[in-house]
Amino acid sequence: MTDGVRGRDSGILNLRDGLLIGGGPYFWSIGPYRAGEGTWKGHLRTNQHSTFSDPFTRLLFAGQEVTSGFSGTFSGDRAEVFGPVPVGIRSLSFQATPKHLADV
C-alpha cells in the first residue's frame, strides 16, 4: 500500500486470454486485463478467503470485497502495476511488481 497504510500480500497470478485469476494465503482476485506494447491495465475483484492467525491484525479491506482498477508497464519477465482501491469512504493505493515465472 502506498498511502501510509501498512499491508502486504504475496501469491500467484495467472494471466490468460484477458482473464487474471490469482490469490495467496489470505486473499483471492479475479478480473479482466488488456496488454500490449509494454503496457497493461484491467480491473480486479478481491476478497479475503482465510482469517488471519493474529487476532490483533487489522483487516486491510475491513473484511469486505473490493474492486480496483490498475495500470502499469511490463518488459521481459518483469512488470510494474499501480492502482486505487476504494474501501468505504477511503481510497487506498497499491503498487506491485509481478514477475513472470512460467507459461501454462
Residue 92: C-alpha distances to residues 37, 39, 40, 89 (Å)? 28, 22, 20, 10
> What pLDDT was estimated at residue 34?
96
Report pLDDT digits (tens) over 46-89: 888 877 777 666 666 667 788 899 999 999 989 999 998 887 78
Task: Kindly indicate the confidence band of residue 7, based on its pLDDT and cuts at 50, 70 and 90.
Answer: low
d(CA 20, CA 32): 6
Name the percent of the chain lying above pLDDT 90. Answer: 35
List strand residue ranges (DSSP E) for the chain, in order: 12-16, 19-23, 27-36, 39-48, 66-75, 78-87, 90-96
Report pLDDT digits (tens) over 38-54: 999 999 998 888 777 77
> What pLDDT was estimated at residue 65?
82
Residue 28: C-alpha distances to residues 2, 4, 38 (Å)? 20, 23, 26
> What pLDDT was estimated at residue 1?
44
d(CA 32, CA 15): 9
Q: How do the domains of the chain map onto residue ranges?
A: 12-96
